[in-house]
Amino acid sequence: MHLSKNEIKHLHSLSQKKVRHAEKKFILEGWRALKEALNSSFQIELVAVLPQYLENQDYAKTISEIGERKIPLKELTELELKKIADTVHSQGVIALTHQKPFSLNDNALKQSSLVVAVDSVSDPGNLGSILRSADWFGVDAVLLGKGCVELYNEKVVRSTVGSIFHLTIIEGVDLQLALPEAQKNDFWVMAASGDGKEPYTLAKTKPKNVLVFGNEAHGVTKEIRTIADAVIKIPKFGRAESLNVGVACGILLAHLREKTQMRNRD
Amino acid sequence: MHLSKNEIKHLHSLSQKKVRHAEKKFILEGWRALKEALNSSFQIELVAVLPQYLENQDYAKTISEIGERKIPLKELTELELKKIADTVHSQGVIALTHQKPFSLNDNALKQSSLVVAVDSVSDPGNLGSILRSADWFGVDAVLLGKGCVELYNEKVVRSTVGSIFHLTIIEGVDLQLALPEAQKNDFWVMAASGDGKEPYTLAKTKPKNVLVFGNEAHGVTKEIRTIADAVIKIPKFGRAESLNVGVACGILLAHLREKTQMRNRD
């Protein structure tokens, strides 16, 4: 069945943050993201696809799972898809998906040993990259500060490459309250900063750690530096003014995991 | 003086790859990039700026240096700027800059100890991120394989945040010839791959190393795997399907630098 005009209008309206926020829904793009969403507990309300993909063997399994799960599967034209999503990245499929809010009350901190906190990162690609790395390195929870770009922004969702469906991500966190709370729960809070004092390779860690990353232009705030147990840096060997925050996050997570492994081997 | 119609047309034409290639020039955007270019041996042919920036104290030093160097400084309107460049990122200033080709004949390999080789990375932001990290970690040379996105693509230039002016970057390299040549010069060639055999933390390195990164979707080619002395991986602890190639590059460079430091301390 083809999407109705009203459905197209509705899907298109979800490119607006305020609509996503009001309805607690978002648009997912692409077959990989759809597959990850189907394997998660995220609720999918509707899938819309270009007709030529319905007969494509590569996606037959996903199409049949949509049928088994009784999720409405509709067709749309290239032009309609263009109105709703980025056609290049959507690969001919989009899905109307419910947001899945986690809260700090979920005891997330108590059951975690590795947490990433993101304070006001503004570039969607950077937040997506942080989430993808957090997923790769098995981070238990991600806390997004109030100043962060919106999690369900289509560019963020796209650049997580499906990782958004794997992680416990808590939005709108007041880090000035949450970080001291984490410290009470035996977490060691490290803020990453280009002008940090301790090289990350020498910095002390504990069995439970929080890594905090700040805004691309302004870094971590003074308030968070004051709260943090340590402000760590990645030493520079060349001339670049700074490292990308997503890259910095990957380096520190890799190092923490390596350190844990070595400790376990000793 | 205001930009002439012909100058605007010319600057606009440089958004096309074929024009950049024919003229060996490109457009630089933003004050930071301009400052880095002025501090480099890149030749700047023309600077164009929104009039309000000419009186802005923050940029007075850069403006006066442009004058001292007798680089033509012209004004343009917001609308003209929009035609030439991305206004958000240009921060009101662009510069017509000459490309600076390096070649493998420059003995680049012989004087280097840390080289990054990029085989057919296609996303401009990823290449930019790799170059920025390469600059941070003091990489001696970057080899770009023939299949890579063009170095002077405006998004690549922008996402290097000035690092393009610091690095020795050799374009259009046939890696199947260059990597064995590097091996003859005592380099240890490691290809990074999600399905690599050796965890990078345990992998052997030599005093002179090349790290090779492949395409976002397809990874390093079979041919390059065959040439490489080792195919290394970054162990996964979670569920993400892959790491971003820029992040992977940062992790491996950081690790190599850390290892060198530890060796020097011992």
> Which CATH number belongs to the domain containing residue A82 in this structure?
3.30.1330.30
Name the token pair of B261: 């430091």
Has residue B153 got a pLDDT over 90? yes
Work out the average pLDDT over B48-76: 95
Q: Which of A133, A234, A237 sits opposite B243 (nearest CB)?
A: A133
The nearest CA of chain B is from the CA of A204 a distance in Å of 16
Mean residue pLDDT across chain A: 93
Residue A236 sits in a domain of what CATH number? 3.40.1280.10
Q: Check residue B64 and give left, alpha or beta (phi > 0: left; psi -120 to 50: alpha).
A: alpha
Phi-psi domain of A119 (left: phi exceeds 0; alpha: psi -120 through 50; beta: other): beta
Binning pLDDT at 50, 70 and 90, where does residue A108 land? low
Overall average pLDDT of the B136-143 stretch: 97
Reported as a pLDDT band with limits 50, 70 and 90, residue A262 is low
- Residue A254 lies in domain: 104-265
Q: Are residues B94 and B108 in the same domain?
A: no
Average pLDDT over residues A90-112: 85
Regarding whether A109 and A40 lie in a shared domain, the answer is: no
Interhelix angle B245-265/A124-136, rounded to 10 degrees, is 60
Look at A122 and A265; give whichever has higher pLDDT.
Answer: A122
Q: Do B69 and B109 reside in the same domain of the chain? A: no
Element housing A180 (H / E): helix A175-184
Residue where a domain stops, chosen among B68, B98, B128: B98
The one-letter code for the residue type at B2 is: H
Mean pLDDT of A252-256: 97
pLDDT at res. B86: 74
Domain match, A15 and A114 both: no
| Average pLDDT over every residue of B175-198 | 95
Q: Which of A132, A234, A237 sits opposite B244 (nearest CB)?
A: A132
pLDDT 10s digits, B83-138: 998 767 778 999 999 999 988 775 667 788 999 999 999 999 999 999 999 999 99
ipTM higher than 0.90?
A: yes
Which chain B residues are Cβ-neighbours of A161 within 8 angstroms? 240-242
Tell me the pTM.
0.94
Mean pLDDT of chain B: 93
**Residue, of B31 and A260, whose pLDDT is higher:** B31
Structurally, how many domains does chain B consist of? 2
Same domain, A125 and A204: yes
**Among candidate residues A65, A81, A98, the one where a domain is terminated:** A98
Cβ B29 vs Cβ B92: under 8 Å: no
Do residue B244 and residue A257 have CB atoms under 8 angstroms apart? no
Residue A263 confidence (pLDDT)? 64
Confidence of residue B50 (pLDDT cuts 50, 70, 90): very high
Task: Choose one of B98, B121, B145: the last residue of a domain.
Answer: B98
Order of all β-strands in the sheet with B93-98: B25-29, B93-98, B44-49, B73-75
Rounded CA-CA distance B38/A32 in Å is 44
Q: Which among B161, B17, B5, B20 is positioned nearest to B96, based on CA atoms?
A: B20
One domain, residues A169 and A217? yes
